[in-house]
Amino acid sequence: MTEHNQGENPDQDTNKPATSTSVVASTAPPSVQDKIKRAKPAPVQARLGWLPRTVLALSLLLAVAAAALVGYQFYLFQQEKIQLLADREALNATLQSRAGRLDKLEGDITQLTQQLKQERDALKSANQNRELLQSRISVLEKDIAAISGAHRIDWMLREVEHFITVAEQRLTLLGDARGALALLQEADDIVRAMQEPSARPLREALVRDVHKLKLAADTNVDVEGIFLRLSALSDRVVKLGIPSFELKQEPLQPQAGEALPEEGLALFWYRFKRFLSSLYDYQKHPKGRPITLTEDREFLARNVIMLLQQAQLALLRGDNEAYRVSLTGARERVEMYIQQRTGETQFFVAELSELLSVKLRPALPTIEESTRAVRVFRDYWNKEKLIREQQALKLEQQSAGQEASR
Protein backbone atom coordinates (compact mmCIF):
# COMPACT_ATOMS: atom_id res chain seq x y z
CA MET A 1 0.00 0.00 0.00
CA THR A 2 2.72 2.43 0.81
CA GLU A 3 4.55 1.58 -2.42
CA HIS A 4 1.43 2.17 -4.34
CA ASN A 5 0.88 5.48 -2.71
CA GLN A 6 4.40 6.35 -3.34
CA GLY A 7 4.00 5.47 -6.97
CA GLU A 8 1.00 7.68 -7.31
CA ASN A 9 2.43 10.67 -5.54
CA PRO A 10 5.10 11.35 -8.11
CA ASP A 11 2.43 11.55 -10.74
CA GLN A 12 0.54 13.91 -8.68
CA ASP A 13 3.67 15.94 -8.02
CA THR A 14 4.42 16.15 -11.74
CA ASN A 15 0.93 17.30 -12.44
CA LYS A 16 0.97 19.96 -9.86
CA PRO A 17 3.47 22.29 -11.54
CA ALA A 18 1.49 22.13 -14.76
CA THR A 19 -1.61 23.02 -12.90
CA SER A 20 0.05 25.81 -11.11
CA THR A 21 1.49 27.08 -14.35
CA SER A 22 -1.87 27.06 -16.00
CA VAL A 23 -3.35 28.85 -13.02
CA VAL A 24 -0.65 31.42 -13.05
CA ALA A 25 -1.03 31.88 -16.76
CA SER A 26 -4.73 32.34 -16.49
CA THR A 27 -4.40 34.78 -13.64
CA ALA A 28 -1.49 36.63 -15.15
CA PRO A 29 -2.02 39.67 -17.29
CA PRO A 30 -2.21 39.42 -21.07
CA SER A 31 1.35 40.45 -21.73
CA VAL A 32 2.59 37.85 -19.37
CA GLN A 33 0.33 35.27 -21.04
CA ASP A 34 1.88 36.07 -24.41
CA LYS A 35 5.32 35.60 -23.07
CA ILE A 36 4.34 32.29 -21.51
CA LYS A 37 2.91 31.08 -24.87
CA ARG A 38 6.05 32.12 -26.66
CA ALA A 39 8.21 30.41 -24.10
CA LYS A 40 6.21 27.14 -24.46
CA PRO A 41 7.94 24.73 -26.87
CA ALA A 42 6.05 23.52 -30.11
CA PRO A 43 5.01 19.89 -30.25
CA VAL A 44 7.33 17.60 -32.19
CA GLN A 45 5.71 15.88 -35.38
CA ALA A 46 6.28 12.14 -35.75
CA ARG A 47 8.04 11.08 -39.01
CA LEU A 48 7.88 7.58 -40.60
CA GLY A 49 10.98 5.89 -41.85
CA TRP A 50 11.54 4.56 -45.41
CA LEU A 51 10.67 1.03 -44.50
CA PRO A 52 7.16 1.77 -43.20
CA ARG A 53 6.52 4.04 -46.18
CA THR A 54 7.62 1.35 -48.57
CA VAL A 55 5.37 -1.18 -46.90
CA LEU A 56 2.49 1.30 -46.98
CA ALA A 57 3.03 2.01 -50.73
CA LEU A 58 3.20 -1.70 -51.53
CA SER A 59 0.02 -2.26 -49.55
CA LEU A 60 -1.73 0.47 -51.52
CA LEU A 61 -0.49 -0.97 -54.83
CA LEU A 62 -1.63 -4.44 -53.87
CA ALA A 63 -5.01 -3.09 -52.83
CA VAL A 64 -5.39 -1.25 -56.17
CA ALA A 65 -4.29 -4.36 -58.11
CA ALA A 66 -6.70 -6.54 -56.16
CA ALA A 67 -9.51 -4.07 -56.88
CA ALA A 68 -8.62 -4.00 -60.60
CA LEU A 69 -8.49 -7.81 -60.75
CA VAL A 70 -11.86 -8.07 -59.06
CA GLY A 71 -13.29 -5.52 -61.48
CA TYR A 72 -11.87 -7.39 -64.50
CA GLN A 73 -13.26 -10.69 -63.23
CA PHE A 74 -16.63 -9.06 -62.77
CA TYR A 75 -16.47 -7.67 -66.36
CA LEU A 76 -15.60 -11.11 -67.75
CA PHE A 77 -18.43 -12.64 -65.78
CA GLN A 78 -20.88 -10.09 -67.19
CA GLN A 79 -19.66 -10.67 -70.75
CA GLU A 80 -19.93 -14.43 -70.34
CA LYS A 81 -23.40 -13.99 -68.95
CA ILE A 82 -24.41 -11.84 -71.95
CA GLN A 83 -22.93 -14.41 -74.37
CA LEU A 84 -24.79 -17.22 -72.61
CA LEU A 85 -28.04 -15.28 -72.90
CA ALA A 86 -27.44 -14.66 -76.62
CA ASP A 87 -26.62 -18.36 -77.19
CA ARG A 88 -29.74 -19.38 -75.32
CA GLU A 89 -31.88 -17.06 -77.48
CA ALA A 90 -30.28 -18.40 -80.66
CA LEU A 91 -30.82 -21.97 -79.47
CA ASN A 92 -34.45 -21.21 -78.69
CA ALA A 93 -34.91 -19.70 -82.16
CA THR A 94 -33.29 -22.77 -83.76
CA LEU A 95 -35.48 -25.11 -81.75
CA GLN A 96 -38.58 -23.15 -82.74
CA SER A 97 -37.64 -23.26 -86.45
CA ARG A 98 -36.96 -27.00 -86.25
CA ALA A 99 -40.21 -27.52 -84.45
CA GLY A 100 -41.96 -25.66 -87.29
CA ARG A 101 -40.18 -27.82 -89.85
CA LEU A 102 -41.12 -30.97 -87.99
CA ASP A 103 -44.75 -29.86 -87.94
CA LYS A 104 -44.60 -29.19 -91.68
CA LEU A 105 -42.96 -32.56 -92.32
CA GLU A 106 -45.60 -34.30 -90.25
CA GLY A 107 -48.28 -32.55 -92.30
CA ASP A 108 -46.57 -33.56 -95.56
CA ILE A 109 -46.22 -37.15 -94.34
CA THR A 110 -49.88 -37.23 -93.44
CA GLN A 111 -50.83 -35.86 -96.85
CA LEU A 112 -48.57 -38.33 -98.65
CA THR A 113 -50.00 -41.16 -96.60
CA GLN A 114 -53.49 -40.15 -97.63
CA GLN A 115 -52.44 -39.91 -101.28
CA LEU A 116 -50.77 -43.31 -101.08
CA LYS A 117 -53.88 -44.79 -99.59
CA GLN A 118 -55.99 -43.27 -102.34
CA GLU A 119 -53.60 -44.57 -105.01
CA ARG A 120 -53.69 -48.05 -103.50
CA ASP A 121 -57.46 -47.97 -103.49
CA ALA A 122 -57.46 -46.75 -107.10
CA LEU A 123 -54.95 -49.48 -108.09
CA LYS A 124 -57.03 -52.11 -106.37
CA SER A 125 -60.11 -50.89 -108.17
CA ALA A 126 -58.23 -50.84 -111.49
CA ASN A 127 -57.04 -54.42 -110.95
CA GLN A 128 -60.57 -55.52 -110.21
CA ASN A 129 -61.81 -53.75 -113.32
CA ARG A 130 -59.04 -55.33 -115.37
CA GLU A 131 -59.89 -58.80 -114.14
CA LEU A 132 -63.54 -58.17 -114.87
CA LEU A 133 -62.65 -56.88 -118.34
CA GLN A 134 -60.44 -59.87 -119.06
CA SER A 135 -63.19 -62.23 -118.04
CA ARG A 136 -65.63 -60.40 -120.30
CA ILE A 137 -63.12 -60.43 -123.17
CA SER A 138 -62.57 -64.17 -122.76
CA VAL A 139 -66.31 -64.78 -122.77
CA LEU A 140 -66.67 -62.54 -125.81
CA GLU A 141 -63.86 -64.35 -127.62
CA LYS A 142 -65.51 -67.66 -126.97
CA ASP A 143 -68.81 -66.34 -128.29
CA ILE A 144 -67.20 -64.88 -131.41
CA ALA A 145 -65.22 -68.06 -131.98
CA ALA A 146 -68.41 -70.07 -131.67
CA ILE A 147 -70.21 -67.82 -134.16
CA SER A 148 -67.47 -67.13 -136.73
CA GLY A 149 -65.26 -70.13 -136.23
CA ALA A 150 -62.17 -67.87 -135.67
CA HIS A 151 -59.84 -68.63 -132.80
CA ARG A 152 -58.05 -66.18 -130.47
CA ILE A 153 -54.68 -67.22 -131.85
CA ASP A 154 -55.90 -66.43 -135.39
CA TRP A 155 -56.38 -62.76 -134.45
CA MET A 156 -53.07 -62.55 -132.65
CA LEU A 157 -51.26 -64.24 -135.52
CA ARG A 158 -52.68 -61.72 -137.96
CA GLU A 159 -51.38 -58.89 -135.77
CA VAL A 160 -47.94 -60.53 -135.65
CA GLU A 161 -47.88 -60.88 -139.43
CA HIS A 162 -48.88 -57.24 -139.84
CA PHE A 163 -46.12 -55.99 -137.50
CA ILE A 164 -43.47 -58.11 -139.22
CA THR A 165 -44.57 -56.92 -142.67
CA VAL A 166 -44.47 -53.24 -141.65
CA ALA A 167 -41.08 -53.75 -139.98
CA GLU A 168 -39.70 -55.27 -143.17
CA GLN A 169 -41.02 -52.34 -145.23
CA ARG A 170 -39.49 -49.73 -142.92
CA LEU A 171 -36.19 -51.57 -142.93
CA THR A 172 -36.10 -52.01 -146.70
CA LEU A 173 -37.54 -48.72 -147.94
CA LEU A 174 -36.56 -46.24 -145.22
CA GLY A 175 -33.63 -47.98 -143.54
CA ASP A 176 -35.24 -47.27 -140.16
CA ALA A 177 -33.67 -49.85 -137.86
CA ARG A 178 -35.19 -48.36 -134.71
CA GLY A 179 -38.71 -48.40 -136.10
CA ALA A 180 -38.33 -51.98 -137.27
CA LEU A 181 -36.93 -52.92 -133.86
CA ALA A 182 -39.96 -51.45 -132.07
CA LEU A 183 -42.34 -53.31 -134.38
CA LEU A 184 -40.58 -56.65 -133.87
CA GLN A 185 -40.60 -56.18 -130.10
CA GLU A 186 -44.35 -55.58 -130.25
CA ALA A 187 -44.78 -58.74 -132.32
CA ASP A 188 -42.73 -60.69 -129.79
CA ASP A 189 -45.01 -59.46 -126.97
CA ILE A 190 -48.06 -60.67 -128.86
CA VAL A 191 -46.51 -64.10 -129.50
CA ARG A 192 -45.67 -64.36 -125.80
CA ALA A 193 -49.27 -63.51 -124.91
CA MET A 194 -50.48 -66.39 -127.10
CA GLN A 195 -49.30 -68.90 -124.50
CA GLU A 196 -48.94 -71.45 -127.25
CA PRO A 197 -46.07 -73.99 -126.85
CA SER A 198 -45.85 -74.57 -130.57
CA ALA A 199 -45.01 -70.86 -131.13
CA ARG A 200 -41.56 -71.26 -129.56
CA PRO A 201 -39.67 -71.42 -132.93
CA LEU A 202 -41.42 -68.18 -133.94
CA ARG A 203 -40.30 -66.47 -130.74
CA GLU A 204 -36.74 -67.69 -131.23
CA ALA A 205 -36.63 -66.21 -134.73
CA LEU A 206 -38.07 -62.90 -133.47
CA VAL A 207 -35.52 -62.72 -130.65
CA ARG A 208 -32.61 -63.30 -133.04
CA ASP A 209 -33.82 -60.59 -135.41
CA VAL A 210 -34.39 -58.22 -132.48
CA HIS A 211 -30.78 -58.71 -131.36
CA LYS A 212 -29.49 -57.96 -134.86
CA LEU A 213 -31.61 -54.82 -135.12
CA LYS A 214 -30.41 -53.61 -131.70
CA LEU A 215 -26.82 -53.77 -132.91
CA ALA A 216 -27.76 -51.92 -136.09
CA ALA A 217 -29.78 -49.30 -134.21
CA ASP A 218 -26.75 -48.31 -132.10
CA THR A 219 -25.03 -47.00 -135.28
CA ASN A 220 -28.20 -45.76 -136.89
CA VAL A 221 -28.32 -42.51 -138.86
CA ASP A 222 -31.27 -40.15 -139.10
CA VAL A 223 -32.09 -41.23 -142.63
CA GLU A 224 -35.39 -39.40 -142.71
CA GLY A 225 -33.82 -36.14 -141.54
CA ILE A 226 -31.00 -36.33 -144.13
CA PHE A 227 -33.51 -37.16 -146.84
CA LEU A 228 -35.57 -34.09 -145.97
CA ARG A 229 -32.47 -31.87 -145.94
CA LEU A 230 -31.56 -33.08 -149.43
CA SER A 231 -35.11 -32.36 -150.60
CA ALA A 232 -34.88 -28.83 -149.20
CA LEU A 233 -31.57 -28.30 -151.05
CA SER A 234 -33.19 -29.46 -154.29
CA ASP A 235 -35.87 -26.79 -153.85
CA ARG A 236 -33.24 -24.11 -153.21
CA VAL A 237 -31.28 -24.73 -156.41
CA VAL A 238 -33.38 -22.13 -158.24
CA LYS A 239 -32.18 -19.51 -155.72
CA LEU A 240 -28.47 -20.00 -156.39
CA GLY A 241 -28.03 -16.83 -158.46
CA ILE A 242 -28.58 -18.57 -161.81
CA PRO A 243 -30.21 -15.77 -163.82
CA SER A 244 -32.70 -16.53 -166.52
CA PHE A 245 -32.66 -14.82 -169.91
CA GLU A 246 -35.42 -12.17 -169.98
CA LEU A 247 -36.06 -9.52 -172.63
CA LYS A 248 -37.56 -6.47 -171.00
CA GLN A 249 -37.03 -2.76 -171.09
CA GLU A 250 -36.16 -1.29 -167.75
CA PRO A 251 -37.45 2.16 -166.85
CA LEU A 252 -35.13 5.02 -167.71
CA GLN A 253 -33.51 6.09 -164.46
CA PRO A 254 -30.23 7.96 -164.02
CA GLN A 255 -27.42 6.36 -162.10
CA ALA A 256 -25.99 7.84 -158.92
CA GLY A 257 -24.30 11.17 -159.58
CA GLU A 258 -25.52 11.28 -163.20
CA ALA A 259 -27.95 13.89 -164.55
CA LEU A 260 -30.76 12.78 -166.88
CA PRO A 261 -31.01 14.87 -170.05
CA GLU A 262 -34.37 16.46 -170.52
CA GLU A 263 -34.83 16.47 -174.31
CA GLY A 264 -33.17 16.72 -177.66
CA LEU A 265 -30.07 15.04 -178.96
CA ALA A 266 -28.60 14.58 -175.48
CA LEU A 267 -31.59 12.52 -174.37
CA PHE A 268 -31.40 10.41 -177.56
CA TRP A 269 -27.70 9.77 -177.08
CA TYR A 270 -28.25 8.81 -173.42
CA ARG A 271 -30.95 6.30 -174.34
CA PHE A 272 -28.79 4.87 -177.15
CA LYS A 273 -25.84 4.24 -174.79
CA ARG A 274 -28.14 2.56 -172.28
CA PHE A 275 -29.52 0.33 -175.04
CA LEU A 276 -26.06 -0.70 -176.17
CA SER A 277 -24.98 -1.50 -172.60
CA SER A 278 -28.06 -3.69 -172.11
CA LEU A 279 -27.12 -5.91 -175.06
CA TYR A 280 -24.32 -7.63 -173.13
CA ASP A 281 -23.83 -8.83 -169.59
CA TYR A 282 -20.80 -10.25 -167.84
CA GLN A 283 -20.12 -12.18 -164.65
CA LYS A 284 -16.80 -12.02 -162.86
CA HIS A 285 -15.47 -15.29 -161.43
CA PRO A 286 -12.46 -15.51 -159.14
CA LYS A 287 -9.57 -17.87 -159.92
CA GLY A 288 -10.36 -18.04 -163.60
CA ARG A 289 -13.63 -19.94 -163.34
CA PRO A 290 -15.36 -20.63 -166.66
CA ILE A 291 -18.37 -18.56 -167.56
CA THR A 292 -21.54 -20.44 -168.48
CA LEU A 293 -23.90 -19.21 -171.09
CA THR A 294 -27.41 -18.27 -170.14
CA GLU A 295 -28.94 -21.22 -172.00
CA ASP A 296 -26.54 -23.62 -170.23
CA ARG A 297 -27.43 -22.49 -166.70
CA GLU A 298 -30.81 -24.23 -166.78
CA PHE A 299 -29.02 -27.45 -167.65
CA LEU A 300 -26.62 -26.83 -164.75
CA ALA A 301 -29.50 -26.44 -162.28
CA ARG A 302 -31.15 -29.65 -163.53
CA ASN A 303 -27.84 -31.47 -163.21
CA VAL A 304 -27.41 -30.36 -159.56
CA ILE A 305 -30.98 -31.44 -158.72
CA MET A 306 -30.38 -34.85 -160.33
CA LEU A 307 -27.21 -35.36 -158.26
CA LEU A 308 -29.10 -34.53 -155.06
CA GLN A 309 -31.80 -37.04 -155.97
CA GLN A 310 -29.13 -39.68 -156.60
CA ALA A 311 -27.75 -38.95 -153.14
CA GLN A 312 -31.22 -39.55 -151.70
CA LEU A 313 -31.46 -42.94 -153.41
CA ALA A 314 -27.98 -43.89 -152.18
CA LEU A 315 -29.02 -42.83 -148.68
CA LEU A 316 -32.03 -45.14 -148.76
CA ARG A 317 -29.91 -48.03 -150.03
CA GLY A 318 -27.16 -47.36 -147.49
CA ASP A 319 -24.59 -46.98 -150.28
CA ASN A 320 -22.00 -44.70 -148.71
CA GLU A 321 -19.81 -44.48 -151.81
CA ALA A 322 -22.61 -43.43 -154.18
CA TYR A 323 -23.87 -40.96 -151.58
CA ARG A 324 -20.50 -39.23 -151.30
CA VAL A 325 -19.89 -39.20 -155.09
CA SER A 326 -23.27 -37.56 -155.77
CA LEU A 327 -22.89 -34.86 -153.13
CA THR A 328 -19.27 -34.15 -154.14
CA GLY A 329 -20.32 -33.70 -157.77
CA ALA A 330 -23.11 -31.31 -156.79
CA ARG A 331 -20.77 -29.22 -154.63
CA GLU A 332 -18.08 -29.05 -157.34
CA ARG A 333 -20.55 -27.82 -159.93
CA VAL A 334 -21.90 -25.14 -157.63
CA GLU A 335 -18.41 -23.97 -156.66
CA MET A 336 -17.18 -23.99 -160.26
CA TYR A 337 -20.02 -22.42 -162.23
CA ILE A 338 -22.13 -20.39 -159.81
CA GLN A 339 -21.21 -17.08 -158.24
CA GLN A 340 -20.12 -17.54 -154.60
CA ARG A 341 -20.62 -14.00 -153.34
CA THR A 342 -24.31 -14.45 -152.53
CA GLY A 343 -25.37 -15.71 -149.12
CA GLU A 344 -27.69 -18.31 -150.64
CA THR A 345 -24.85 -19.98 -152.52
CA GLN A 346 -22.56 -19.95 -149.51
CA PHE A 347 -25.27 -21.57 -147.39
CA PHE A 348 -25.86 -24.19 -150.09
CA VAL A 349 -22.18 -25.15 -150.23
CA ALA A 350 -21.89 -25.25 -146.42
CA GLU A 351 -24.93 -27.53 -146.19
CA LEU A 352 -23.48 -29.88 -148.80
CA SER A 353 -20.17 -30.01 -146.89
CA GLU A 354 -21.99 -30.84 -143.67
CA LEU A 355 -23.97 -33.62 -145.35
CA LEU A 356 -20.75 -35.02 -146.79
CA SER A 357 -19.33 -35.36 -143.28
CA VAL A 358 -22.15 -37.78 -142.37
CA LYS A 359 -21.04 -41.39 -142.45
CA LEU A 360 -23.79 -43.77 -143.43
CA ARG A 361 -24.36 -46.91 -141.46
CA PRO A 362 -23.29 -50.32 -142.75
CA ALA A 363 -25.73 -52.59 -144.52
CA LEU A 364 -28.80 -53.25 -142.42
CA PRO A 365 -29.68 -56.81 -141.42
CA THR A 366 -32.75 -58.54 -142.76
CA ILE A 367 -35.62 -60.09 -140.85
CA GLU A 368 -36.07 -63.06 -143.14
CA GLU A 369 -36.02 -65.48 -140.19
CA SER A 370 -39.06 -63.85 -138.60
CA THR A 371 -40.90 -63.69 -141.92
CA ARG A 372 -40.19 -67.37 -142.63
CA ALA A 373 -41.04 -68.43 -139.08
CA VAL A 374 -44.41 -66.67 -139.05
CA ARG A 375 -45.36 -68.34 -142.35
CA VAL A 376 -44.36 -71.74 -141.01
CA PHE A 377 -46.37 -71.19 -137.86
CA ARG A 378 -49.37 -70.02 -139.91
CA ASP A 379 -49.34 -73.26 -141.93
CA TYR A 380 -48.87 -75.32 -138.78
CA TRP A 381 -51.68 -73.58 -136.95
CA ASN A 382 -54.17 -73.96 -139.77
CA LYS A 383 -53.71 -77.73 -139.51
CA GLU A 384 -53.44 -77.85 -135.74
CA LYS A 385 -56.62 -75.83 -135.32
CA LEU A 386 -58.66 -78.35 -137.26
CA ILE A 387 -57.22 -81.23 -135.25
CA ARG A 388 -58.01 -79.51 -131.97
CA GLU A 389 -61.52 -78.64 -133.09
CA GLN A 390 -62.14 -82.30 -133.99
CA GLN A 391 -60.77 -83.44 -130.64
CA ALA A 392 -62.93 -80.92 -128.83
CA LEU A 393 -65.96 -82.07 -130.78
CA LYS A 394 -65.23 -85.71 -129.85
CA LEU A 395 -64.89 -84.80 -126.19
CA GLU A 396 -68.21 -82.97 -126.26
CA GLN A 397 -69.89 -85.95 -127.90
CA GLN A 398 -68.41 -88.32 -125.35
CA SER A 399 -69.48 -86.12 -122.44
CA ALA A 400 -72.96 -85.84 -123.95
CA GLY A 401 -73.17 -89.65 -124.31
CA GLN A 402 -72.06 -90.17 -120.73
CA GLU A 403 -74.67 -87.75 -119.47
CA ALA A 404 -77.34 -89.49 -121.55
CA SER A 405 -76.35 -92.92 -120.19
CA ARG A 406 -76.64 -91.62 -116.63
Running DSSP on this structure, what letter comes out for residue 342?
A: S
Q: Read off the pLDDT of residues 183-197 as tens digits, 9 standing for 90 and up.
A: 999 999 998 888 888
End-to-end CA distance of the chain: 167
Question: What residues contact residue 231 under an 8 Å CB cut-off, 6+ apart?
Answer: 312
Instruction: Determine contact, residues 364/176, Cβ cutoff 8 Å.
Output: no
Question: Angle at the Cα of 198 (from 196 to 202), degrees rounded to 5?
Answer: 95
Helices (H), 195-264: 200-218, 223-235
Following CA atoms 384, 385, 389, 394 in sequence, which dihedral angle do they give, to the nearest 10 degrees? 0
Q: What is the mean pLDDT of residues 117-124?
A: 90
- Number of residues assigned to the chain: 406
**Pair 139, 334: CB distance under 8 Å:** no
Q: Could you tell me the CA-to-CA distances from 251 to 91, 215, 246, 262, 272 in Å, in that order?
A: 91, 66, 15, 15, 14
Give dist(CA 213, CA 171) in Å, integer. 10
Name the residue among 221, 225, 236, 227 with its Cα closest to residue 350. Answer: 236
Amino acid sitting at position 312: Q
> For residue 14, what pLDDT is reported?
40
For residue 18, what pLDDT band results from cuts at 50, 70 and 90? very low
The C-alpha R_g of the chain, in whole angstroms, comes to 61
The reported pLDDT for the residue numbered 68 is 92
**pLDDT tens for each residue of 208-262:** 988 888 877 766 577 788 888 999 998 888 777 655 444 455 555 656 656 666 6
Cα torsion through 47, 49, 53, 54, rounded to 10:
170
Q: Are 191 and 199 in contact (CB under 8 A)?
A: yes
Q: For residues 184 and 212, give the distance between their C-alpha atoms in angstroms, rounded to a whole number.
A: 11
pLDDT at 9 over 60: no
Rounded distance, CA 45 to CA 39, Å? 19
What is the per-residue pLDDT across 197-220, written as a single tens digit (0 to 9) for each? 888 888 899 899 888 888 777 665
DSSP assignments along 106-165, one per residue = HHHHHHHHHHHHHHHHHHHHHHHHHHHHHHHHHHHHHHHHHHH---HHHHHHHHHHHHHH
Q: What is the pLDDT of residue 21?
A: 44
Mean pLDDT of 342-363: 82
